[in-house]
Amino acid sequence: MKKAARVFLTLLLCTAAFAQPQRVPVKNVAVIETQIDERSGAASMINRAEVGVITNAIRSEAVNTLPRGRFNVMTTETVQAMGAAVLEECAEENCVIALGSKIGADYIVRAIISKFAENLTVSIEMYETEYGMLVATAPPVRTASLNDLLEKATVACAVMYKKFLETSGVPATLPAVVATMPESKPEPASVAQAPLPTDSVYTTETAPVLTAPTPLREPPRASVYVTGVSSVIGNTLSKAINTALMKTGIYAGMERIDEFVSGTPNDAQLISAGTQAGVSYIFAVNVSGQISVRIIDVKMAAVMAQISLDGQITAVNAAGIAKKIVDFILKSGPQLDAAVLASNQTAAGQQMMPDSEAITHFARAVSMKRVRTPYLLINNQNILNPAFINEGDYMSLWFLFANTLQEFYMQEAGFTMPLGLYNAVGVSWMMQGGKSYKATDSQGQEIGGSIVDQSHFIALTYACNVWGGLTVAGNLNIIAQNVANIDDEYNPKNEMRFGFGADIGLTYKLIHHQRFGNHMLGFSTNNIFNMIMDTDEKYSSALRISLLSDFWEKRVYYAAEFESTTKNMSWEINQKIGFNILRIFNLYMLAGLNPDGRLDHYGFAFGANMPGFFNGRDIEGMMQFVSVGNNEASHIIFYARTEFGKNRNVRHSEKVARSQ
């Protein structure tokens, strides 16, 4: 009987042991700073800030690809904080592997940028540190464009990480397990020991913590730090996020840390600045290249969560991206105890939602960086191409109103007049801005008064048909900005800024044929030269090539436009096809492609033009709708134009008759 009891007890203990959850060790992956091969001359084509963006992309791809609970992604700050060699001086393979072993990394990922001919190349390798083995390499990347370099390097990393998982036998998805920290490795006496959970950088996807952080009992103080844009845009974005977060009732205050740090700091420098400023959390936002957001816990010296957002901040998606940033912070950042949060919100009369006025102000500020009309190829607009005004035979007046996100709007009006048979003049006015909003300090508290943010753009145009089908034209641009002085966070107010600029344009009529239709090629610049007085701010410039065609006695229309920015050479293609119905109604379909070859925006337009009721003169109206991205933003545009006066050919004939 006793023997049977012992057997039963043994089986029971074995069963209990096997019933325990499987414990899987977490492997540490260190993505070190991308190195520049100085001997190849690569430093002349890329700077340190741009290299940092590539490093962040490699690290983010590791976070997105390597399975949760099995791999922990460490940062450069972890390496430096534990007393290892300076990475920039550790170029040799053996040095990198030894460095990884010292800091407790099971795998090291490093990238080297070199120059070959006129191209930049990136080689990315992954090493196992225990035996110094090369376990994976990324496909070669070679391009002359920094944007392509970033995109292709990201794709190559994803391929490398997936190959590594396949060869190492780690499944892409794992069963439910209890993740444990790896056993400590023996460290040399010269290396300072530090608890891995404190120094490691985790994300919401890969952190080996299965329980949510304990809600805070007291509202913390935090700070937003933006890099990758000018100070005007950065300060505006910071204030938008600060105001939105203060409205939630979660935070006791939003502080500035720019007196303790500047430029593009790493995480260790941000943590040091946050400690000096007395904040518990820093929200680091980088908007150069791919947009990234990191939530840094200052006391734990760790990254709580990070995210990458596709695309770049532009006038059309600024508000949508700002809202995504705030939503990410609210979801993945520090959480306040529900009772404390409810008490704070009741006392302040606040609700847990982003502040739309502050975010809209940010959208307006971004849009001012570039005068960019959100409509497609309305042919007589001299802001698009000054040579277009020479295509009309009558004097004309036109007006346009555009609305985005219900807050941001644009208005345009213009007048054109032909001079004889070969010349024309015009003037147009464009205003971008939004409704006024109440002034607030850095804590989101109203301080009295209102802020208006508007920019006015006046173009004086002259066009001349110099030879055959060739017309050359130019714009003299006058700029007036009524913007908020956001440098004074305690007493923001409006101030006027003035500037000027110039653009050129030309058109050439390729074909004018009854059977084969009419086809005109255009080239123009947008803000190719501009200057805002008393500031270093400038509108972003661009080059535009367009093709305008009509067939079957103007019953079918087609237009295409290729536009490229001059700074980073990003581009987009816009197209439209239209139909004239019953010689009165016009219907258009619109679409645009981004540099990835994907659909960037789409829309439609419809309206009516009734020259038959106005002695051959155009009198038209049109409404256009354009949806951008994943419906993050949309434009609704109303356009009206009328012609009046005598035909330029009639006036020329009368002038000739009078001279005889």
| Cα distance between residue 399 and residue 1, in whole Å | 101
| Cα distance between residue 268 and residue 275, in whole Å | 11
Backbone angles phi, psi at 183, to 5 degrees: -65, 145
If you ran DSSP here, which 8-state letter would residue 26 be given?
P
Query: What pLDDT band is residue 249 in, cutting at 50, 70 and 90?
Result: confident
Distance (Å) of CA 150 to CA 113, 164, 259, 268, 446: 11, 21, 31, 24, 42
Torsion angle (degrees, nearest 10) of CA 158, 159, 165, 166? 160
Query: What pLDDT band is residue 47 in, cutting at 50, 70 and 90?
Result: confident
Q: Which residue shows structure tokens 């801005």?
A: 433
If you ran DSSP here, which 8-state letter would residue 270 be given?
H
Q: Which residue shows structure tokens 């007493």?
A: 491
Residues 51-95 pLDDT 10s: 888 888 898 888 888 886 788 887 655 655 554 444 444 555 566
Query: What pLDDT band is residue 581 in, cutting at 50, 70 and 90?
Result: very high
Contact 338, 598 (CB under 8 A): no
| Cα distance between residue 268 and residue 298, in whole Å | 9
Give the amino acid at 316. Answer: V
Domains in the chain (CATH in brackets) are 26-172 (3.40.50.10070), 221-362 (3.40.50.800), 368-435+448-659 (2.40.160.60)
Please choose, from the candidates 49, 308, 125, 306, the residue with its C-alpha nearest in 3D space to the C-alpha of residue 201. Answer: 306
Whether the per-residue pLDDT at 513 is higher than 90: the answer is no
pTM of structure: 0.52
- Residue 92, judged by CB atoms within 10 A of its CB (0-12, 13-18, 19+), counts as exposed
Reading the block at residue 407, the tokens are 């807050």
If you ran DSSP here, which 8-state letter would residue 564 be given?
E
Residues 18-37 pLDDT 10s: 344 444 577 888 888 888 88
pLDDT of residue 428: 92
pLDDT of residue 14: 41
Residues 462-510 pLDDT 10s: 999 999 899 999 999 999 988 766 555 555 567 788 999 999 999 999 9
Please choose, from the candidates 514, 436, 507, the residue with its C-alpha nearest in 3D space to the C-alpha of residue 473. Answer: 507
